Amino acid sequence: MNVRAPCYVVASGSAECARCGRWTHVVAVALPCDHEVAGDDSDESGDGARTVHWQAAAIGALLFYIRDLPESVQRRIAALTSSFRLAVSAQTGDAYWMNHCEQCGAAVEDHDLHCEPGGAFMPMSAHAAAAIRLLQIFEPFQAAAGGYAFDGEFL
């Protein structure tokens, strides 16, 4: 696990499916400004045990390419949508928790949602950001995430 927080946010938006062209509901996980990130200075001791040094973050962040989620978080998100599940990415070849089109079942890749200007979780205006709904979950959170972006200008 490389991120943790006392609570988390499920962000909900919509995106156009690359396969069928229809709009689908998508979700993302965001962390508040009091979350922690495993530091680059983590090390292994002489006995092979790994010591992790946690660093506090001053601002919130969106997570993507999430490889591992605790079962409690999986259940919470599953109660909100059945379209966010662990799958192998056709683009990266890696397994991560990703959205799927509600109509055709195609994977909606995190790159398109988080890294492309105008993507569901990379809004380019305050108006676009206002369409993202946020649900704060007051439960401890931890995950292994390959992608991490500080709250953008409009979030």
Using CA atoms of 79, 82, 88, 89 in order, give the dihedral in degrees to the nearest 10: -110
Residue 41 tokens, joined: 């200075």
Domain count along the chain: 1
Q: Which domain holds residue 133?
A: 3-150
Looking at the domain assignment, is residue 145 inside a domain? yes
Mean predicted lDDT score pLDDT of the chain = 92
The arithmetic mean of pLDDT across residues 115-133, rounded, is 93
User: What are the pLDDT digits (tens) for 80-105?
Assistant: 999 999 999 998 999 999 999 999 99
Looking at the domain assignment, is residue 155 inside a domain? no
Residue 136 tokens, joined: 């704060």
Is-contact 82 74, C-beta < 8 A?
no
User: What are the pLDDT digits (tens) for 35-57?
Assistant: 999 986 555 556 666 788 999 99
**Alpha carbons 111 and 41: distance in angstroms, whole number:** 28
84 strand-pairing partners: 99
Look at the alpha carbons of 86, 30, 148, 21 in this order and tell me if their dihedral is positive or negative. positive
What is the number of other CB atoms lying within 10 angstroms of the CB of residue 23? Answer: 13
Looking at the domain assignment, is residue 127 inside a domain? yes
Looking at the domain assignment, is residue 55 inside a domain? yes
Looking at the domain assignment, is residue 63 inside a domain? yes
More confident site: 41 or 70: 70
Residue 46 is predicted with a pLDDT of: 60
φ and ψ of 111, to 5 deg? -55, -45
Residue 29 is predicted with a pLDDT of: 97
Looking at the domain assignment, is residue 42 inside a domain? yes
Looking at the domain assignment, is residue 105 inside a domain? yes
